[in-house]
Amino acid sequence: MEAKKILGAMFLNFLMALLEVIGGIFSGSLALISDALHNINDFFALLISYLAEIISKNKKSNLKHTFGFRRVEILSALLNGVLLLGVFLFLIVEAFHRIKSPKEVEGIQTVIIGVIGLVGNILGALLLHEDSHHNLNIKGAFLHLISDAISSVGVIIGAMFIIFYKLYIADTIISLLIAGFILYSSIDLIKETLHILMEGTPREVDINEIQKLICKIPGVRDIHHIHVWQVSTKDYLLSAHVVVEDQKVSEAEKIVSQIKDTLREKFNINHSTLEIESETYFKEKECQCEY
């Protein structure tokens, strides 16, 4: 069902982008073309989300790819960020040419197409709104559509200045603002994907908080060598060494189960590998848990 909703949003996004490209050419509006390029890029972002949902559900792990193909989502997102930078550069060059050689823009046509684009983006966002609360992949697609809606509002405002004040430079200013937003989005996306590819700790996870909560579990003496990373936007993994009191070694399985439950409930970490050490084995090292 989630994949079908993304597919529906993709269809709407593509129609809006096609309409804005045609409208931008006939009306002479660079802002419309800017928004269309933003929509086209977001179409690919939705496509990535759609493929990620399909792959995560149908492509299983094997001996060569023990984590499956969930990293496809991250690699595609990185490519998407690089393409966004390309769109930004194109818009900056076009805006520079417009400033040097101003061009008349059809304000009424731009408003009509901008309103249609706004409605289409809102409908697409409504399709994904409910699922965006519990699926990070869909949340990303939802936010893309919201950003498209904001861009459409900018196009409409710029067109109103043209209709009432014949201020054609407003179209170029709006396109530059959209370009700036695209630059911000691309840098943020590239930083996030590189952080994941470099096995960085997920931003939502606080290792100090993990240590604090695990140390409160009865029988746990220490936890160290903690490593947390993510394979995709919603798959968090953890490995750690856990020291248990000597008299609790026989209850290690129960302690491990409690730790896994804590990691799952508090930090959304569903895959954890824990190595158990006895207190005697660990006695030469200063324990980190506070009592």
What torsion do the CA atoms of 65, 71, 73, 75 make, to the nearest 10 degrees? -120
Q: Which parts of the chain fold into alpha helices (H)?
A: 2-27, 30-58, 72-100, 107-129, 136-165, 169-197, 207-215, 252-267
Please check whether the two domains, 2-197 and 207-278, share a CATH topology: no
| Alpha carbon distance 280, 96 (integer Å) | 71
pLDDT in tens, 106-122: 888 888 888 888 888 88
**Type of residue found at 88:** F
Instruction: State pTM to two decimals.
Output: 0.74
Provide the phi-psi class of 219: left if phi over 0, else alpha when psi is between -120 and 50, else beta.
left
- For 118-173, write each residue's pLDDT tens digit: 888 888 888 888 876 666 556 666 777 777 788 788 888 888 888 888 888 888 88
Does residue 16 have a pLDDT over 70?
A: yes
Taking only Cα atoms into account, the Rg of the chain, rounded to an integer number of angstroms, comes to 25
Does 291 score more than 50 pLDDT?
no
CATH number of this structure's domain 2-197: 1.20.1510.10
Taking the C-alpha atoms of residue 252 and residue 288, their distance in angstroms, rounded to an integer, is 19
What is the domain partition of the chain in residue ranges?
A: 2-197, 207-278
pLDDT value of residue 134: 65
How far from the centroid of its chain's Cα atoms is residue 145's Cα? 12
**191-218 pLDDT, tens per residue?**
988 999 999 999 889 999 999 999 999 9
* % of the chain residues with pLDDT over 90: 22
Phi, psi for 243 (deg, rounded to 5): -95, 125
**What's 207-278's CATH class?**
alpha beta
The mean pLDDT of 278-282, rounded to a whole number, is 76
